[in-house]
Structure 1
Amino acid sequence: MEGKVVISAEERAVKCAAFALDKKALDVRVLEIRKLSSIADYLVFASGRSDRQVQAIADSVKQGLRPFDQVLDTEGYDEGRWVVVDYGDIIVHIFQEEVRAIYNLDELWDRAREVEIPEEFLWENKEPK
């Protein structure tokens, strides 16, 4: 991976969350699943309110993580209801809120360790400055 800055998978997953939050994503979570599954080490979940917001969140994640990692595959972008961005060891799921509720992946992975997202990236429930 010439030209890429090397940081851990957990740091990259948190960066994915931060880039999603930069586009006002809702209910962003980072889950460590490496001990539960071989599909990836981390899952990042985020929600948007519209297809355009979901697409903007996906674009932000892909653009922001470009110096650190290469996207292996992206699915669902054109519809903007559920976009999956696959980095191999990190899989980012960006849903419209109602789609996330239907598939309820949060409950499926409820045994996974949740990685704390630093306060500086969070925007929900913050008092305006």
Structure 2
Amino acid sequence: MSSLTAANAVITLAVANLFPTPFQLQGFSADNIYDLDSVDQVETAMGVDGILSGGFVYNPINQTFVLQADSPSIAFFETWAATQVQAKDVYTANGSTTLPSLGRSYISTKGFLVSLQPRRFAIRWQSVQSVPN
């Protein structure tokens, strides 16, 4: 029987033209490894006659990584951010998350580093897809 622990999670990120070899994140916060914001896939509008209409829309997926103060992965995010400032350009990432305890894996594509707070780093992904584990 497998447990529901996140301690065995493996998350890797590769940043084109900066970190082309996938980098494994380490030193996650004990309370929270990462958050994925909810994603609206349908936009709706109510007509004046009370009829609700809806349609599919694409939206980005925001993911926030929470690291411990002594995490060796902090340098990865800080280097990514500093390089963008120096270049006055953006560097996109691709990533993968494997959660063995849940038997799930995810592939994340075309991510932009959009937010930096002390030990919290947010990436906005074009897509996050579940793949067979």
**Could you tell me the TM-score, scaled by structure 1's length?**
0.30
Structure with max Cα Rg = 2
Which of the two has greater strand per residue?
2
